[in-house]
Amino acid sequence: MTAFPARCDTLVTNGHVLTMDDAFTAIRDGAVAISKGRIAAIGPMAEAAGVAARAVIDARGGIVLPGFVNTHCHAAMVLFRGLADDRPLDGFLKAVWAAEAAHVTPETVRAGAALGLAEMALGGVTHVVDMYFHPDATVDAARHVGIGLTAGPVFIGFDGIDHLPWPERLRFAEAFVTRHRGTEGLDLMLMPHSAYTLDAAQLAEVTALSERLGVPVHIHAAEAPSEMALVAARHGTTPVRALDRAGMIRPGTLLAHAVHLDDAEIALLAERGVAMAHCPLSNAKLASGAARLCDLRSAGAVTSLGTDGAASGNDLDMFRTMRLAAQMAILASGAPDALPARDVVAMATREGARAAGLGARKGRLTAGMDADLIVVDLSSPHLIPSYDPYSSLVYAAGRSDVAHVMARGRPIVADRRIVADVTSDIAAVRAVASSISASALRA
Ligand SMILES: [Zn+2]
C-alpha cells in the first residue's frame, strides 16, 4: 500500500474501505486520500492522522467503495418511464418507438439524460455506458452532472428517429469519434443497436469502422425470444453467431443482455474476451428470460451489471440490479451459494470497469486509479447490524443510503443531494411527459 502524502485535495475518513481489488482487500477503519482526481493513498486511519486536506468527507463508519459502473443504459429514456409496462419486448418496443418518433429531439434527450444521470449519481453510479440517439446531448448532460460516460454513435438499419440515412450515419459516427476523442470524463464506443435492426452488411461495416477508429463496440444481443425469431428470419442464425460472422465477437465487445445463449456461444464469448452487461431488472420485467450468468462466469467471461433504460426496467438503480442479479442466479441454479454477495459487488464495480474497457483506470480503489468512489451510510435501521459489508450492500442497502459520490475526485453528490442544478431539466421532462399523456389520451 502507498504511504499517505503530507497533503491532499480530499481525505475520506472513518470508512470501512472496500478496495475491490482482486484480493478483495478491505480496511475496517480506513481513509482514502485523493489528489488531482486520482486515489493518492489508502490505509488505516492511524496512518492518515497528519494528512493536511483541503476537504474532508467523514464516512462515519459507513462503507467506502468504488462507484458503480452501469454497463448498459439509455439514460434519456426516463422520458418514457412507465409508459409501456406489462408487455413483452416486441410490444414494448412498438409503443416506445412511437413515443420516441414524436418526442425525441436533442433538447429532450439533454433534459431526459440529465435526469437519468442525476438519478444514477444519487444511487452511487460514477460511470455509465449509455446508448442513445443524439449522443452529443447526453455528453452535454453528463458534463453538467459530472458523471463519467461512455457514449457513441448509434447504428440502426433504417433512418431512425434521428433521421440519418445509413451513409450519413457512418459519416456522423466518424465525426463524433473525432470530435470527442480525448475529452475528459468521456470514453467512446460504437453502438450498433442489434442484429434485428441491422443487416449483415451493415454489421460488418460497423466492425470495419470500429477497427479503423480503434473504438470498441457495444450492442444488444440475444435479449428475448421475439429477438431470437427476428434474427433467425433475418440472418438465418442466432444473434451471437450473426455478430460473429460480422467480426464483432472479439476482445473489447460488450453485449447487452445476452440472455439466450447455447453452450457453444458461452464458450465462444469467454474465449474471445467478450463482456456481458447483465440487465436483470428489464429481463425480469419484460419476461425476456433468466440469463445464464453463472455459466458465463464459470466459463471465464467478464460479466457486469446494467440497469438498461428506465422505459424497460423503470429505474436506474444499481442496488436493485445487484440484488435481483443475485436472487435470480440463486433461484435459477437452486444453489444459495451460486453467486456470493462479494462477487455481485465486484460485477458492479471492477468487472463493470473491465467490461467497459476501463479496468486500468476505474473499478478499484488503489493508488493511481480515478477517484470514483461512494460512501454508503450505515446508520439507518435496515443496515444495523452489518456483519458483512458486501451482504449489506447487496441484500439490505438501497440507493437512498448513498451519502457521498465523487467522480474523478469531484463531489457530484454531497450529503445525499445532487450537486448539479437539474431544476430546468425537471421542468423540461415534465413538459414532455404532459404532451405524451395528452397524445396518449387522444389515441
Ligand atoms: Zn437496452
Could you tell me the sign of the dihedral formed by the alpha carbons of 406, 408, 409, 411, in that order? negative
312 CA from centroid of ligand 1 (Å): 8
Which burial class, exposed, middle or buried, applies to 407 when counting CB atoms under 10 A from its CB (0-12, 13-18, 19+)?
buried
pLDDT of residue 440: 61
277 CA from centroid of ligand 1 (Å): 10
pLDDT of residue 376: 98
Strand duo 410-414 + 26-35: pairing = unpaired
pLDDT of residue 255: 98
Reported pTM:
0.97
415 CA from centroid of ligand 1 (Å): 31
pLDDT tens figures, 173-197: 999 999 999 999 999 999 999 999 9
72 CA from centroid of ligand 1 (Å): 6
pLDDT of residue 267: 98
5 CA from centroid of ligand 1 (Å): 43
Q: How far apart are CA 377 and CA 259, in angstroms?
A: 34
Strand duo 191-192 + 154-155: pairing = parallel
pLDDT of residue 392: 98
Q: How far apart are CA 300 and CA 241, in angstroms?
A: 19
The strand pairing partners of 127, in sequence order, are 69, 148
Structure letter (DSSP) for residue 47: G
Q: How far apart are CA 15 and CA 372, in angstroms?
A: 15
Q: How far apart are CA 429 and CA 199, in angstroms?
A: 34
36 CA from centroid of ligand 1 (Å): 34
Give yes or no for a contact between 308 and 260, defined as CB atoms under 8 angstroms apart.
Answer: no
337 CA from centroid of ligand 1 (Å): 29
The strand pairing partners of 58, in sequence order, are 13
C-alpha separations of 258 from 105, 135, 243, 278, 289 in Å = 30, 24, 12, 7, 10
| Domains contained in the chain, CATH given | 7-66+364-418 (2.30.40.10), 68-355 (3.20.20.140)
219 CA from centroid of ligand 1 (Å): 8
Chain center to CA of 75: 10
Describe the chain by its helix, strand, coil percentages, rounded to 5.
40, 20, 35
pLDDT of residue 130: 98
Is the previous residue joined to 385 through a cis bond, with omega within 30 degrees of 0?
A: yes
pLDDT of residue 347: 98
Q: How far apart are CA 85 and CA 108, in angstroms?
A: 21
406 CA from centroid of ligand 1 (Å): 26
pLDDT of residue 162: 87
Chain center to CA of 11: 27
pLDDT tens figures, 402-434: 999 999 999 999 999 999 999 999 999 999 998
Chain center to CA of 397: 19
pLDDT of residue 92: 78
Structure letter (DSSP) for residue 177: H
Dihedral angle at the C-alpha atoms of 284, 274, 238, 69, nearest 10 degrees? 20
Q: How far apart are CA 44 and CA 5, in angstroms?
A: 13
Q: Point out the residues of the chain with pLDDT beneath 50.
A: none
Pick left, alpha or beta for residue 89 (phi over 0 → left; psi -120 to 50 → alpha; otherwise beta).
alpha
282 CA from centroid of ligand 1 (Å): 9
pLDDT tens figures, 2-18: 899 999 999 999 999 99
376 CA from centroid of ligand 1 (Å): 28
438 CA from centroid of ligand 1 (Å): 26
Question: DSSP states of 56-112 as a string?
Answer: EEE-TT-EEEEPEEEEEE-GGGGGGTTSS-SS-HHHHHHHHHHHHHHH--HHHHHHH
74 CA from centroid of ligand 1 (Å): 6
* Closest to 323 measured CA to CA, from 337, 341, 342: 341
156 CA from centroid of ligand 1 (Å): 13
Question: DSSP states of 187-223 as a string?
Answer: EE-BEE--TTSS-HHHHHHHHHHHHHHT--BEEEES-
Give yes or no for a contact between 407 and 420, defined as CB atoms under 8 angstroms apart.
Answer: no
* Closest to 279 measured CA to CA, from 71, 66, 69, 67: 71
For 28, the enclosing helix (H) or strand (E) is strand 26-35
